[in-house]
Every structure is written in C-alpha cells, then in structure tokens.
Amino acid sequence: MHAGPDRARRFDIADIVRAHRAKLESVVALTPQQRRVLTDIAQCRTIALGGHLDRCASCGYEHPSYNSCRNRHCPKCQALAQEQWIAERRTRMLDVRHFHVVFTVPAQLRPLAAFAPHWVFDALFRCAQAVLGEFAERRLGATLGATLVLHTWTRDLRFHPHVHAIVTGGGLSSDGQQWRSAEAAFLFPVMAMSRVLKGKMLTELRRAHQQGAFDGFDEFRDPQGFDLLATRLAATSWNVYAKPSFDTGQNVLTYLGRYTHRVGIANSRLLAVTETSVTFRTKGKGTATLTPVEFLRRFVRHVLPDRFHKIRHIGLYSAVANEKRELARIALGLPVAARCSLSWRERFTLVTGRHLGLCPLCLSALHSIPIIRSRAPPRTAA
C-alpha cells in the first residue's frame, strides 16, 4: 500500500490477500478455482511473475514493469481488457436505441445457485435469452440483438446473481427487409417478462433435478425438498427490471464496458484498510466495514467456475449472425462498420496515458531489460 506525493492514499486488494489469506483458509474451505484466483491476485504485477526494466540511456530514468496475472477476477487486469473488448465489439454494435434489462433470481434460489453455480447461471442465461427472443418475435415479428453479462454481487459483496442485458430497441424483420422499432418508452412489459422467466426457470430446475444435477444439496436430502423449493419459487415475484432507452450512438459501448469487465470490487472503492477492518464504498455515499477475513470470504464467493462464459451475445449480436447484422445495417441505412485499427500499445496509451517505449522525462527511446521472476508460479492452485 502506498501513496504518491500528489494523491490520496491508495489501497490494494492484493495486500489484503497476502496478509489474511492464511487465516481465511483456516476457516473457509476454498475451491481450487478460488485458491488460484487469490494466488494470481497476490502475484499480479510483482517480481513473482517477472517483467522488464525500462531504462533511458539519455537521462538515466529507470522504471520496472512487472507482468499482469490476466485473471478475469483480478481488479488490476480489467481496464486494458475492457478497452480491447470495446474496440472489437464496435464492428457488431448497431447504431440504434438500446435498453438495459436486468434478470434476477429470487433470494430463495441463491443457496442452490451457490451449490451448483455453473448449472444455475447457465440456465439463467438460456432463459433470459429465450424471454427476449420470444417477446421480440411475438411483439415485433423481428430478431433483436443483445449482449448479456452475468454479475453475482451486490455493492457490499453479498451473493446476488443477475444478468445484465443491453438490448437493441427493435429488430430485423423475418424477411430481412426492414427494421421494426420497439416503443421509445419501454422495450417489453417487465411484469410479463418476469412471469415468463419464472416459468422457464422452474422448468429448467425440475429437468436438472431429475437428471441429478443437484445431488448432494442439503435441502434436497428431504425427498420433498425440491418440491418445497419449487412451490416457494412459484409463489415468489421474480424481478425483471428495464431502464429507459439509451440515445443512439456508439457511446452505448462505453456504458456496456462498465459491466462486461467489472469484478466484485475495484481497488478504487477501498477507503481504509487496517489489520482488523476493511472499509469500502457501496452505493452512493454509503460504506461498509468488514473484517479482512469476511471481506475475502465475500470476495471469493464471486469466483466463477472454470471455462464459464460470463459474457454472451444473442440474435443480431451473435458471432454467427454476420449476414443478418449487415441486412439490419442496410435496413437502418447505416454505413458498414469500420474495423478497429488500434494496436494494443495504442490502447494501452489510451487507457493509461503512458507511451510505451518513450521516456516520460525526456521522450527518448527506452531500452527494456528482462526481469527474471523471483520464482516460478505454482503449477497447480496454491
């Protein structure tokens, strides 16, 4: 933890991991994925991963740069990945109104989601996709485009799985000849979407239970356990929320980028870190204070299963919809999308303000000298 001369003290989740991981593991049984994430975060941008020393022959400036862990859960590795993702998505994004729709599972389903995250999260994606597709077909007679992103947290790091969807305010007609716009005020009725989502999820849950996907879940040791949960879920109002539409334009991507590569908490939200407490910003001016072990316990709950894709694209935004997407551009009178020509070095400069290869003091060329990692990283989750 350090403070520059002209800025407030900054805190780092990696420091909390290094100081309190051992105590966390003494009270919580971590999965291999969770252990891997903690190891990567602790080593990220340290000599443990190696790097290089930038040296200027003209003025003597030297600056070590250590390698990133590139773990998708690491708060320090998302800015550049986000910019690269946005640049790549510009070729697919249509310059039309978009709506932000949120699909949430009720509290009664969260324990099962924590037990079988891959299955429940995947089902939520499939059902959200089906709801959007069916409403677009029924009400517009069209195929829309949407990007869906899974988040599992609240602002105070509690477990709260939900899917954010950025959805085109309309779609391409089935004959591919015209663009059919949704109403400006709303995409589809949210109460109707909520009821359909509930019905689809209950069907998916029952099918998975019959296939043994939830074997070992404590609540289902009772032979009536699943039916009791299904009854509670059926009686509960499921929440689908839709915000007003965005203005047209590629600025939708900037908004979307905030969701695609967000992790449970960023270093910038940490307000104070001591040996006994971690205080961080929640919503608005709110704050929360936890013990370091509780902070880490909540943090690792949001580690996703290996190979689980938390960002998905459907309809006109899917990878296989190039032809339909171009027909939509023609119907809308939009120009062909230009491919991004920025290199990763140029994107790095855009994000950080630093020009790689140039001395920040005299702008002379820098020479890089490899820094050998202090030790090889563990081959398995540590």
Within 13 Å, how many C-alpha atoms sit on residue 217's CB side? 22
What per-residue confidence (pLDDT) applies to 4? 40
The type of residue at 216 is G
Which CA distances in Å does 157 have to 18, 183, 292? 20, 35, 13
Residue ranges per structural domain of the chain: 92-264+303-332
pLDDT value of position 336 = 73
Residue 107 burial (10 A CB sphere; 0-12, 13-18, 19+)? exposed
pLDDT (0 to 100) of residue 350: 56
Q: CA-CA-CA-CA torsion for 112, 114, 115, 121, nearest 10 degrees?
A: 80
Share of residues in the chain with pLDDT > 90 (%): 69
d(CA 327, CA 176): 6
| Tokens 């949210």 found at | 190
| CA–CA gap between residue 186 and residue 25 (Å, rounded) | 47
The encoded tokens of residue 244 equal 């007003």
Q: Which pLDDT does position 316 carry in this prediction?
A: 97
Cα 203 off chain centre by:
27
Tell me the per-residue pLDDT of 195-218, one tens digit each, with 9 for 90 and over. Answer: 999 999 999 999 999 999 999 999
Note the pLDDT tens digit of each residue in 321-351: 999 999 999 999 988 765 555 555 556 555 5
Low-confidence ranges of the chain (pLDDT < 70): 1-9, 247-251, 337-354, 374-382
CA 90 – CA 193 distance, rounded (Å): 29
* Alpha helices (H) along the chain: 13-27, 32-43, 79-89, 110-115, 117-140, 190-210, 225-235, 251-260, 292-300, 322-332, 344-352
pLDDT at 1: 40
Instruction: Give the predicted TM-score (pTM) of the model.
Output: 0.86
CA distance 90 to 78: 18
